[in-house]
Amino acid sequence: MALENKLGINDALELAREEERLTKKRALELYDKKLLDSFEVGTFAGLKDIHGYLFQDVYYFAGKIRKVNIAKGNFRFAPVLYLEEALRNIDKMPQDTYEHIIEKYVEMNVAHPFREGNGRSTRIWLDAIMKKELGKVVDWSKIDKEDYLLAMERSPVRNKEIMLLLKEALTNQIDDRQVYLKGIDASYRYEGYSTFQTNDL
């Protein structure tokens, strides 16, 4: 059964296909219309804006904090009861060094503030922080899906792996449209979405 959505789609596969197509178009607009420059960098408010923009055509909960507890495998994300407090604490975390930025990213992943689309939104959010603070972004197309997913799975306990993995993929091509587009496609691939190329939409 598909998640409740604005498209009236009940089939999960059909929803996944439309979600990918519509949100990748929005991801392209984020870049081409320079919308990311108008969002707060490194705060939940900024992440909310990214998520709200990406998923506005698909879900009623776009940009809204989840009201349900969620888990992935054996890992439970921040309980709804403590979610808003966790997000306030993340907002206060420093983002002045590469290490601090990754720590903040890992904490935001544990918080998982939305019903769906956390990973894709948070990777765009992470790049916005990197760009502002370090003059670099992650070239996601250089990161293997399995390596990334395993490192993220372990990151709440030990974040050295994800720090190393992302550091090796950093680039100073922060205004390169192709780096951004390939990054969106890679980011979606991590979540199992690979029907469309962002460049073709």
Q: CATH code at 105?
A: 1.10.3290.10
Range list of β-strands (E), 54-151: 71-72, 75-76, 137-138
131 burial via Cβ count (<10 Å: 0-12, 13-18, 19+): middle
Please check whether residue 6 lies inside any domain of the structure.
Answer: no
Work out the average pLDDT over 26-55. Answer: 97
Identify whether 3 is part of a domain. Answer: no
pTM: 0.97
166, part of any domain = yes
Helix (H, G, I), strand (E, B) or coil at 149: helix
Q: How many domains does the chain have?
A: 1
pLDDT at 167 over 90: yes
What range defines the domain where residue 177 resides?
12-200
Whether residue 1 has pLDDT greater than 80: no
The amino acid at 23: T
Q: Within a domain: residue 4?
A: no
Query: Per-residue confidence at 2, pLDDT binned at 50, 70, 90?
Result: confident
What rounded mean pLDDT belongs to the chain?
96
Interval 58-69: pLDDT, tens: 999 999 999 999
Query: Phi and psi dihedrals of 99, rounded to 5?
Result: -60, -45
CA dist 134 and 113 (Å) reads 25
Residue 5 lies in a domain: no
Structure tokens at 103: 């720590």
Query: Is the residue at 16 inside a domain?
Result: yes
Cβ atoms of residues 70 and 136 within 8 Å = no
Is the distance from CB of 24 to CB of 58 less than 8 angstroms?
no
pLDDT of residue 75: 87
Q: Is residue 45 part of a domain?
A: yes
In a domain, 72, yes or no: yes
CA distances from 196 to 56, 71, 103, 107, 191 (A): 19, 27, 32, 30, 13
- What does the pLDDT average to over 79-85? 96
Confidence of residue 73 (pLDDT cuts 50, 70, 90): confident
Work out the average pLDDT over 98-103: 98
Provide mean pLDDT across the span 93-102: 98
